[in-house]
Structures are given as structure tokens and as C-alpha cells.
Amino acid sequence: MGARAGLIFWVYDGGMPSSPPASTSSTTGDDRPVDLAGPPRTPAPAVRGAFLLATCQGGAEAALCRRQEAVLPAASKAAWRRGMVTFRLGDLDPPDDLFPDFVFARTVIRSLGQVVAGSEPERIAALRSLVTHATWDTVHVWHRDQRLATEVDPEPIRAALLAAYGLPATTPAIARPGGLVLDCLIDAADRWWVGWHRAGTPPSRLPGGLHPLALPADKVSRAWLKLDEAIATFAIDLRPGQRAVELGASPGGACQRLLEAGLAVVGIDPALVDPRVAAHPRFEQWRMRARDVKLKHVRGFDWVVADMNIDPRSTLESIGRIVTAAGAKPAGIIATLKLPDWSRAHELPGWLDQFRGWGFAPRARQVSTGGREVCVCALRGPRRR
């Protein structure tokens, strides 16, 4: 985690999906290198915007605002709608690629304001008047509330904006690292929020920070999709031949994703996993509860994965028992912490401290494919005493 100009933000090491470290010629705010190779950066707008706009899962607004107060206290809450909050920046002028550690934010952009009009051509014209900056690398268009998806198709809007700003119709929606993005958030059938950002973190390269994949038909559960997004979001370097253990494995979606990455996997769960997973030659199931596993058997795993439908304290207790066992030296943890209700979100800093106490450096994010939960990726680091 790095600090710059009084801001706290996450620095991600890879692209989408995970990639090896690149050659560098500069550093981030926490002195970790960033890749400046590639095409020259498109200049940012002269009119930068006086607000940040952050989108989130509906219901997570209060949790997002509590994180803002902790990591970006100089900003102040402004407009608030389901799935979206804006923050007045005041005297702050953060970096173009700011992605503060809000945890519950799917994407964060600089807001330039709203356009409201009765027809799409009128809204396009109003947006052109509002956004005078002429040069963009791509355009992101997405819904504030997915219930609008049946009413408003974002693709014709994106096509019209690409044409309006002279971009080819074939311009990819996924931004390249460092690309300058024009943002259009569909708030209602007749109202859009407009802004911009520079792509940096993996989620910031995606429209709305939303994972671009739907659950493939051959996957056994949604846990496959959540883990797939976590791997991309945190640039997790899973390597063929590594070993992983999943606590609460049934029906086996996350195990299936780990197997596809080339890992050998042990699933721990009293309930049987899907036969498609159970039949894999690199899979083994231990039919028991995580707390009943003999600790001498948990040595030699590179990754500990957990996505259990229990209270976060119980999940952490199960993980802690495994990763602190004598001889256990996993390189990382990928854990989903379920929130029984949104009021529990204020406990997150304490939960992350437990990972640090075990000797891991945690990063947290509410992935877009998950429910009322937080995904934590924690890599082994110096143990805090």
C-alpha cells in the first residue's frame, strides 16, 4: 500500500490476468516500480473535475463511505444513490490513476457532472458540451443499477461516443494500462454521470470495474467465477505444480478453477464435491470439517483458499489454525469473508490485522461477482509481532 499527497491507495503488480513483473523506469508512491513502457500517455483533461465518483454493490454505500473517511479523509461525501457515491475533493488534486483503497468500490473516476435529456442524441450532444477534452483511448459505459440493463443497452451509447470522439468502432472496451478513459455511467433512462480516469489497477481497466465473464456452463458453481475475478484483480501468480487446500470446498467451483491453473488441490468439506471435480487426477477430497483436520497433514501447501458460508470470525479461526501449524508455510491465502449484514463491515480492519499477525500482507476488495462479502488476498511477508 502506498501514500501520495495524503492519499492511501493500492498498487497492483500485474495486468489482467496476472503477469510477471515488467521492466521499469519509474516508481509508485510506495517506491515499487511501475512499467512506463509502451505508447506515450494521452494527456489528461485540463478540466479535471472537482468530485470523485465511486460505484459499488447496492447496499455497500455506507461501508464505502466509512473506508473513504479512513483512507481519504480530506474528501467529503456529496451525492449518494444506490450503488454510487460521489465525494467532493476540495483542494485535493489526486493522481490521474488514483484508485483509493475503498475496498467496496468497484471503480473510481473523476466526475465532470451529469447530463439529462429526453433522447439519446440530445444526451450525446450535452455530453460533448460538458466534455471538451477531445482525445481518449477508450470509452467505458455501464449501469449504476443492473436492473436498468433491460431498459437501456450500453452498447449503442458506447458506439455513439466512440464516433463522437473520433475513435474506431473496434476500440477495445478493456483499457490498456495507462490508457485515458472517458466514463459514462447510466444512472437512469434519461440521465448519465460523466467523468474520466486513467487505467492502472486491473479493475480500473474494465467498464465499471465489472468482471467481464459470465459463469461458463461447464463450471460447477459461482465460486469458480469469484476466484477467477480474484486472480485477475489481485494478479495472483498461481503456478502449475503448486499445491492448494480449500476449506469448505463443496460443490467445488473454486477447486475447479485451481485445477485449471495446473495446481494439485485438496478440498476439505463433509459434503461431496461435484463428480466432475472429484474425478480430476490432481484432486483429493478430505470429507471432514476444517477444524477436524490433523495439523500434521496441512504441511506442504502453497495456497490456502477459503469460501465458507459461516461468520468471518469462524472462517479466520479455521484459516489461522492451518497457516500457523508447525511446518506449514503457504505462500498465500485467498479468503472470502461473508458479511452477515453490512454493519459488520467496520470489523474489516481487525480481520486484516489477523492476516498480518500470521505473517501475511493482505489486500481486500469486494469483487463484482460476489455477494455481501469481501475477498482477501494475502501473500506471505514479514510477521508482525
Three-state secondary structure call for residue 51: strand
Q: Fill in the amino acid letter for 217.
A: A
| pLDDT for res 21 | 34
pLDDT tens for each residue of 76-99: 999 999 999 999 999 999 999 999
Query: How many other β-carbons are positioned within 10 Å of the β-carbon of residue 70?
Result: 16
Query: ∠139-145-151 over CA atoms, to 5°?
Result: 80
How far apart (Å, rounded) are the C-alpha atoms in residues 329 and 158? 48
| pLDDT for res 149 | 77
Give yes or no for a contact between 123 and 188, defined as CB atoms under 8 angstroms apart: no
| pLDDT for res 15 | 37
Sorted by where each starts, the structural domains of the chain and their CATH numbers stand as: 2-209 (3.30.2130.30), 222-380 (3.40.50.150)
How far apart (Å, rounded) are the C-alpha atoms in residues 84 and 62? 10
Give yes or no for a contact between 87 and 31, defined as CB atoms under 8 angstroms apart: no
Give yes or no for a contact between 14 and 235, defined as CB atoms under 8 angstroms apart: yes
> How deeply is 188 buried, as exposed, middle or buried, from its count of CB atoms within 10 A (0-12, 13-18, 19+)?
middle
pLDDT tens for each residue of 205-220: 999 999 999 999 999 9
36 CA to centre of own chain: 23
Burial 14-44 (b: 16+ CB within 10 A, else e): bbbebeeeeeeeeebbeeeebbeeeeeeeeb
| pLDDT for res 384 | 52
| pLDDT for res 162 | 98
385 CA to centre of own chain: 29
**CA-based diameter of the chain, in Å?**
68
| pLDDT for res 37 | 54
pLDDT tens for each residue of 257-301: 999 999 999 999 999 999 999 999 999 999 999 999 999 999 999
From first to last of its 385 residues, the chain has per-residue pLDDT tens of 333 333 333 333 333 443 333 333 333 333 333 444 567 899 999 999 999 999 999 999 999 999 999 999 999 999 999 999 999 999 999 999 999 999 999 999 999 999 999 999 999 999 999 999 999 999 999 999 887 777 899 999 999 999 999 999 999 999 999 999 999 999 999 999 999 999 999 999 999 999 999 999 999 999 999 999 999 999 999 999 999 999 999 999 999 999 999 999 999 999 999 999 999 999 999 999 999 999 999 999 999 999 999 999 999 999 999 999 999 999 999 999 999 999 999 999 999 999 999 999 999 999 999 999 999 999 998 655 4
How far apart (Å, rounded) are the C-alpha atoms in residues 251 and 271? 8
